[in-house]
C-alpha cells in the first residue's frame, strides 16, 4: 500500500470526480483510477459507488475516510516537526527534485549561483525520472522541481498552482563516436534508445521526427532511461544517442562524440508550489531568475 493512494482517496472524497482529482494530483485519469482500484484491492473492499454521479462513498468508504484523514494528519504533523527542526539548524535547507541528467550537468552550477545570491545553505536533492519528480513536488516533499520543457510534451501541472521560471536553455542532439558502428546497407545508423514512454524518450522521438535527424534502426534500449548510460554506450561506439548538449558538451568539444543531427531547443525550467511559502524559499526563487545559461550549440 502506498501513501499516495490514501491522498488520492481523500482528494476523491472531496471532489467526487475522478477527472478533477486526477488534475489536482497531477496524474492522468487512467493512472488515478488504477491507484484508487489498487487501494480497494489492498483493503479488500469497495470504497466507491461508481454507479452514481457524482460518485458517492460506500459505507466502507465512509468508514475508511476517517482512517485515511487521521493517517494523513499524523504524517503531516510529523513532517512539519522534522522540517521545523531542519529550519532551526545552522543552515537553511532547500529540497529539489530533478531529472538525472540535470543533476549531473546543470544543478551543480545553478546551486553555486544560488549560494552566491542568498548566502550559505544546505540542499537535499532527489535525482529521478520525470513522473516521480513531478509527484515529489505535488505531494509536498520537495520545494522545487528542475526539469526540461518542450512544447511537444504537456506539463501536468496547473501553472496557477505551480509557477515556473526558465533558468536556462539546452538542446537535444544526436551524437555518435567517430569510431562507432557503421551505417547498414540502407544508410541507417544504429540507435541507442530510451525506454518506452520515458520523458527523454518522448523528447528523443520528437527530435527524431524532425528534418535533419539521422535515419536509424534500434539496436539497444536502456530500460532505466538515464541519459548518462546512453552517453557511455555512445562513447563506446555502440550507436547514435539523443542527449542534452549540457551533458555531452565536453565530449563534443574534444571530438570524442560527433553531432550527427540538427539540434532541438529545450527550456530548463524550475517549478515550485504556490501553496508552499517560507522566507528562505522565496529568496531562492527570486535568485533563480538572475542567471540563464545557454547550453545550445547555436543561439
Average pLDDT estimate for 122-129: 91
Q: Is residue 177 exposed (0-12), middle (13-18) or buried (19+ Cβ within 10 Å)?
A: buried
Average pLDDT estimate for 219-227: 81
Average pLDDT estimate for 60-75: 89
Residue 88 has pLDDT above 80, yes or no: no
Name the residue among 166, 156, 119, 123 with its Cα closest to residue 267: 166
In DSSP terms, 96 is beta-bridged to 125, 144
Note the pLDDT tens digit of each residue in 278-292.
889 999 999 987 777
Residue 81 has pLDDT above 90, yes or no: no
pLDDT at 83: 65
Q: How many CA atoms lie within 13 A of 111 on its CB side?
A: 20
pLDDT at 247: 94
Of 85-99, 163-177, 192-206, 266-280, the one with minimum mean pLDDT is 85-99
Q: Which three cell numbers stand for residue 238?
A: 555502440
Note the pLDDT tens digit of each residue in 259-272.
999 999 999 999 99
Residue 240 has pLDDT above 90, yes or no: yes
Query: What percentage of the chain carries pLDDT values higher than 70?
Result: 95
Is the full-model pTM beyond 0.75? Answer: no
Average pLDDT, rounded, for the chain: 90
pLDDT at 33: 92
pLDDT at 91: 83
**254 against 24, higher pLDDT:** 254
pLDDT at 206: 95
pLDDT at 85: 63
CA distance 109 to 170: 14
pLDDT at 264: 95
Q: For residue 84, name the pLDDT band (cuts at 50, 70, 90).
A: low
pLDDT at 79: 73
**Collapsed DSSP state (helix, strand, coil) of residue 12:** helix
Amino acid at each position: 500500500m502506498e501513501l499516495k493512494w490514501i491522498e488520492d482517496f481523500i482528494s476523491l472524497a472531496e471532489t467526487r470526480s475522478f477527472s478533477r482529482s486526477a488534475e489536482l494530483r497531477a496524474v492522468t485519469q487512467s493512472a488515478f483510477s488504477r491507484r484508487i482500484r489498487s487501494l480497494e484491492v489492498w483493503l479488500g473492499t469497495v470504497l466507491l459507488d461508481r454507479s452514481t454521479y457524482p460518485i458517492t462513498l460506500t459505507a466502507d468508504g465512509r468508514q475508511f475516510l476517517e482512517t485515511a484523514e487521521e493517517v494523513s494528519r499524523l504524517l503531516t504533523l510529523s513532517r512539519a516537526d522534522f522540517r521545523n527542526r531542519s529550519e532551526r539548524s545552522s543552515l537553511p535547507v532547500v529540497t529539489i527534485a530533478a531529472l538525472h541528467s540535470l543533476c549531473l550537468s546543470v544543478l551543480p552550477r545553478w546551486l553555486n549561483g544560488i549560494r552566491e545570491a542568498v548566502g550559505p545553505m544546505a540542499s537535499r536533492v532527489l535525482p529521478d525520472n520525470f513522473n516521480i519528480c513531478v509527484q515529489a513536488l505535488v505531494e509536498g516533499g520537495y520545494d522545487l522541481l528542475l526539469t526540461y520543457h518542450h512544447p511537444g510534451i504537456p506539463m501536468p501541472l496547473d501553472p496557477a498552482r505551480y509557477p515556473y521560471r526558465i533558468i536556462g536553455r539546452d538542446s537535444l542532439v544526436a551524437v555518435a563516436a567517430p569510431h562507432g558502428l557503421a551505417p547498414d546497407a540502407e544508410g541507417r545508423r544504429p540507435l541507442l534508445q530510451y525506454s518506452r514512454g520515458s520523458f527523454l524518450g518522448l523528447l528523443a522521438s520528437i527530435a527524431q521526427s524532425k528534418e535533419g535527424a539521422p535515419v536509424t534502426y534500434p539496436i539497444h534500449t536502456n530500460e532505466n532511461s538515464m541519459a548518462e548510460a546512453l552517453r557511455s554506450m555512445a562513447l563506446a561506439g555502440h550507436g547514435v544517442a539523443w542527449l542534452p548538449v549540457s551533458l555531452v558538451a565536453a565530449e563534443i568539444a574534444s571530438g570524442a562524440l560527433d553531432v550527427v543531427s540538427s539540434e532541438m531547443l529545450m527550456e530548463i525550467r524550475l517549478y515550485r508550489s504556490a501553496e508552499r511559502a517560507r522566507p528562505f524559499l522565496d529568496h531562492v526563487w527570486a535568485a533563480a531568475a538572475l542567471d540563464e545559461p545557454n547550453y545550445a550549440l547555436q543561439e
